Amino acid sequence: MAEHDLSLREAARRGLAGRCPRCGQGALFAGFLKVAPRCDHCGQDFSFADAADGPAFFVMSFAGFVVVAAALVVEIVYQPPYWLHALLWIPLILAMTLLPLRPVKGLLIALQFHHKAAEGRLAGGDRP
Ligand SMILES: [Zn+2]
């Protein structure tokens, strides 16, 4: 499949599944968050993939909003002891940050691939 034939929906699906954004068969990751150097199925080079802190930012923002809002509501309504807050919110924040981190990173890399995103360059080459 040519790169420009890939729909946004299919690219997002492949990224969320941790699959190669080009062929959808090979693995995108070589570890929990480490991107493989290339696709083991089609040979697509993944050196373009640089999601940087994007996945962590989106995941932390969403999880922080949900957990802090839930903790505030529970505190206002029930006023439980602090140990119960720790028992409730620490596992929830761990689950809400660690579980979606890899799919979100895959999604951002797949979107980079789909939109052919690259580092900014000045028009006219490498002249200063
Ligand atoms: Zn591939």
Residue 104 CA to ligand 1 center (angstroms) comes to 19
Mean pLDDT rounded to a whole number for the chain: 90
Task: Output the CA–CA distances (angstroms, integers) from residue 36 to 8, 32, 63, 90, in the order listed.
Answer: 22, 11, 27, 31
pTM for the complete prediction? Answer: 0.83
Task: Tell me the sheet residues that pair with 19.
Answer: 27
Higher model confidence: residue 8 or residue 2? 8
How many Å lie between the centroid of ligand 1 and the Cα of residue 85? 45
**Inter-residue contact 36 to 28 (CB < 8 Å):** yes
CA of 50 to the centre of ligand 1 (A): 17
| pLDDT tens per residue, range 52-95 | 899 999 999 999 999 999 999 999 999 999 999 999 999 999 99
